[in-house]
Amino acid sequence: MIESLLAFLGATAVLAFSPGSDNIYVLTQSVVNGRASGLATTAGLISGCIVHTTLVAFGVSAIITTSPTLFFIIKLLGALYLLYLAYKVYKSDAKVSLTEGTPKKSYWSLFKQGVVMNILNPKVTIFFLAFFPGFLWEPEGNTVYQFYVLGILFMIASFFIFGSIAVLAGSISGYLKKSNQLGVVLKWLQILVFIGIAVFILI
């Protein structure tokens, strides 16, 4: 159990830090409108994860109960999806773009926007479906409980990292703008994590 949770936290931390639409949006809000705006956006994005956790927890748990073979197929498809994400990252530009002129919004509006952005993004549910099952430490046990444990850990780790990005936005954004090498390092780190998780799920 401890080994699975530590591996899960490590993978989550790297994924949360790697450049993506969510953390770049948090970074942009923080740079343009201040740290509090970035933290409000972070809170909204993370809160939406509980919906995706619930969908995956009850949906996959029902499948596990019905057919272990279907559960293996889900894990296999999840591994293939993660390899596809690694390929997409490989083909993408390593530069991090920060959009200037982000309009100022109230903290409550940013929180709500973050929640809606997360809930209405089907890719998050697909990612959870690919990511979470491989870290269940007891597939024959109470899987709903295990999925919620993973979901809460994912939310805590992501909030801590996204929040840190918001707080340190000024220095981080300046460094990212100046350093193309950092973007390349983060790109390949993300590729390795996706491949590593896919292999972990399969074996």
> How is 153-169 classified by DSSP, letter by letter?
HHHHHHHHHHHHHHHTH
Q: In whole angstroms, what separates CA 69 from the centre of its chain? A: 27
The pLDDT value given to residue 150: 94
Residue 59 and residue 160 in contact, taking contact as beta carbons nearer than 8 Å: no
The pLDDT value given to residue 128: 86
Task: Give the integer Cα–Cα distance in Å for 91 and 189.
Answer: 14
The pLDDT value given to residue 98: 56
Residue 169 and residue 21 in contact, taking contact as beta carbons nearer than 8 Å: no
* pLDDT at position 148 over 90: yes
Angle at 147 between CA 85 and CA 55, to 5 degrees: 75
Q: What angle in degrees, to the nearest 10, is found between the helix axes of 35-47 and 143-167?
A: 170
Q: Enter the pTM of the model.
A: 0.75
Question: Residue 78: which H helix or E strand, with range?
Answer: helix 68-91
User: Quick one: average pLDDT of 175-180?
Assistant: 61
- Residue 42: Cβ within 10 Å count: 29
Give the mean pLDDT of the chain: 80
The pLDDT value given to residue 59: 81
DSSP tag of 102: P
Confidence of residue 177 (pLDDT cuts 50, 70, 90): low
| Residue pointed to by tokens 């992501």 | 158
DSSP tag of 175: H
Residue 48 and residue 110 in contact, taking contact as beta carbons nearer than 8 Å: no
| Residue pointed to by tokens 């959870």 | 128
